[in-house]
Amino acid sequence: MRGKTQEDIGLVELLDPVAESVGYEIVRLRLMGGAEQRRLQIMAERPDGDMNVEDCARLSRAISEIMDAADPITGEYTLEVSSPGVDRPLTRLKDFDTYAGLEIRIELDRVAEGRKRFKGELAGVEDGQVGLNLEGEDDTTVYFPFEWIVDAKLVLNDELMKRGAQQRAARVGADGADADENLGEDHADDIDLSESEED
């Protein structure tokens, strides 16, 4: 799920060690657009789940170096590095444990229970399967193999916003930073750190 196409997956394999070497994890990578101008969009975070503007810039520089050297993309492209955002995609098995208890949307690569799309409260992971308490169906928890999931995303609601605010407050307390210093962190998703690359 971190990569959608074979080209995406190849780039994830190339860039994973680069991101890890500077202290980050790639959450999702998408290479989009046509032959003339493409966009390489990378969502990433630190192992603690944080990702501010300075982190995005640092990772962007590290990725640019290896992309220049390896030259895996033909033609021009723009590199965008960002945090996953509050209503983030869930792309790794560990994400489904980390965000248990929150509302999500899931899309499968096959029909299960008569449909491919589901919404409900994330019930965590059990034996490599993702649990979901189905919306509108009391006491009904279904489990899907992680490999069946092609798309999963947190639903932006009051509970998620509250959790995000609590996490930011905890980081401010831990860092001893004031609100002004954390403004960039709160709005990291709104800032596009882009670089144009040529073949």
pTM over 0.85: no
- Considering the domain delimited by 1-85, tell me its CATH architecture: 2-Layer Sandwich (3.30)
pLDDT, one tens digit per residue, over 81-97 is 999 998 999 999 999 99
Query: Residue 180, Cα to own-chain centre: how many angstroms?
Result: 26
| Residue 114 CB contacts under 8 Å (≥ 6 apart), including other chains | none
Q: Is 79 helix (H, G, I), strand (E, B) or coil?
A: strand
How far is 88 from 57, CA to CA, in rounded Å? 20
Is pLDDT above 50 for 184? no
Q: Any idea how long the chain is?
A: 199
Say yes or no: domain 93-154 is CATH 2.30.30.180: yes
Highest mean pLDDT among 84-88, 101-105, 138-142: 101-105
% of the chain surpassing 70 pLDDT: 86
Q: Judge if 1-85 and 93-154 fold alike in CATH terms.
A: no
Domains of the chain, by residue range, sit at 1-85, 93-154
